[in-house]
């Protein structure tokens, strides 16, 4: 679907309406099936289906798809992008290191706060992930617009940047509220609101990082679309550290989410190289386009 939508941008005269409509229908039906799957798992387990790494990844994929459905009216590229994102997240959930088995909750998670605090925090990861992927897609569009004269590409970059900002705003809102409510839960469970636990600290770092990204347009020299989209992509590293890094490489009171340290998958290094190359290419392409215009 994403390929078809990009083809329509470059070749607007091509008749792609029917294939695109079919693609949208398939994605929406898949989202409904995903929603039903979460509901069934909730019913069978008797608790909210985001209590371990596997379940939270499945929920992140669902939340990212929800974000795509919400913002698809702004740009059809949004839903196509979230479909790819959800597929990537579900692929990670299917790795051997993730255990899909239904298990009883540990005592500290047997609370109504599981349905509130964790759902907000994990949902924010889905919205922020969509922002990162929208930023990456915008960088690719910038590379194709290196000459700066394509009005369709300019309009697409404007739409993607606008949607990116909205998704990051929703994401940081959910993360902030979830972190605040997490303090209330911590006081009920451990007798203190904040203890600079590794998870708490990195959640705060993530909030500060995204607060900077959303306000960097107020700083001279950081107002362009390239700076914002690149920052939204890089900023997701703080989410990855909060989610994977703390769970698998650090220790703290959130030990119920920890596991044995695992080696970093090889594909991560390839992804970093691709991101670096695309970011560098978009930088020079954007600079050239600004000179031309």
**pLDDT-derived band at 293, boundaries 50, 70, 90:** low
Q: Which of 145-154, 239-248, 256-265 has the lowest mean pLDDT?
A: 256-265
Quote the DSSP letter at residue 116. Answer: I
Q: What is the pLDDT of residues 201-220, one digit of tens each?
A: 899 999 999 999 999 888 88
Quick one: pLDDT band at residue 257, thresholds 50, 70, 90?
very low
How much is the average pLDDT of 24-38? 91
**Terminal CA-to-CA distance of the chain, rounded, Å?**
31
pLDDT of amino acid 214: 93
Sorted by where each begins, the domain ranges of the chain are 50-292
The pLDDT value recorded for residue 17 is 76
Check whether 153 has a pLDDT greater than 70. Answer: yes
CB 140 within 8 A of CB 77: no
Residue 114 has pLDDT above 60, yes or no: yes
Share of the chain above pLDDT 90, in %: 28
pTM of the full structure: 0.85
Buried b (16+ CB within 10 A) or exposed e, 102-132: eeebeeebebebbebbbbbbbbbbbbbbbbb
- Residue 65: name the closest of 159, 135, 157, 133 by CA: 133
Helix (H) or strand (E) holding 257: none
pLDDT of residue 217: 84
More confident residue, 260 or 263: 263
Q: What percentage of the chain carries pLDDT values higher than 70?
A: 88
Judge whether residue 105 has pLDDT over 60: yes
* Band of pLDDT at residue 10, cut at 50, 70 and 90: low
**In the 8-state DSSP scheme, what is residue 101?**
-
Position 7 scores a pLDDT of: 65
- Whether the per-residue pLDDT at 258 is higher than 60: the answer is no
pLDDT tens track for 159-186: 889 989 999 999 999 999 999 998 888 8
Tell me the pLDDT band of 1, cut-offs 50, 70 and 90.
low
Query: From CA 122, how far away is CA 116, in angstroms rounded?
Result: 10
Q: Can you spell out the DSSP letters for 10-27?
A: H-TTS--HHHHHHHHHHH
Burial class (CB in 10 A: 0-12, 13-18, 19+), 45: middle
């Amino acid at each position: 679907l994403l390929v078809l939508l990009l083809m329509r941008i470059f070749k607007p005269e091509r008749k792609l309406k029917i294939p695109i409509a079919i693609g949208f229908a398939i994605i929406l039906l898949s989202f409904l099936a995903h929603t039903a799957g979460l509901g069934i798992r909730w019913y069978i387990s008797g608790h909210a289906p985001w209590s371990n790494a596997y379940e939270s990844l499945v929920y992140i994929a669902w939340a990212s798809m929800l974000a795509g459905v919400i913002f698809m009216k702004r740009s059809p590229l949004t839903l196509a992008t979230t479909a790819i994102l959800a597929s990537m997240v579900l692929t990670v959930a299917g790795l051997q290191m993730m255990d899909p088995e239904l298990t009883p909750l540990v005592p500290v998670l047997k609370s109504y706060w599981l349905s509130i605090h964790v759902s907000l925090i994990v949902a924010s990861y889905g919205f922020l992930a969509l922002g990162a992927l929208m930023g990456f897609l915008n960088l690719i569009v910038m590379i194709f617009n290196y000459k700066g004269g394509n009005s369709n590409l300019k309009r697409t970059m404007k739409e993607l940047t606008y949607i990116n900002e909205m998704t990051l705003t929703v994401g940081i809102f959910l993360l902030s509220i979830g972190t605040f409510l997490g303090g209330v839960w911590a006081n009920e469970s451990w007798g203190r609101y904040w203890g600079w636990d590794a998870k708490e600290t990195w959640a705060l770092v993530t909030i500060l990082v995204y607060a900077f990204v959303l306000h960097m347009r107020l700083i001279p020299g950081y107002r362009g679309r390239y700076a914002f989209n690149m920052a939204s992509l890089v900023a997701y590293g703080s989410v990855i550290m909060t989610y994977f890094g703390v769970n698998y490489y650090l220790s703290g009171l959130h030990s119920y989410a920890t596991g044995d340290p695992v080696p970093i998958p090889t594909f991560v290094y390839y992804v970093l190289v691709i991101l670096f190359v695309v970011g560098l290419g978009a930088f020079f392409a954007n600079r050239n386009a600004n000179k031309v215009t």
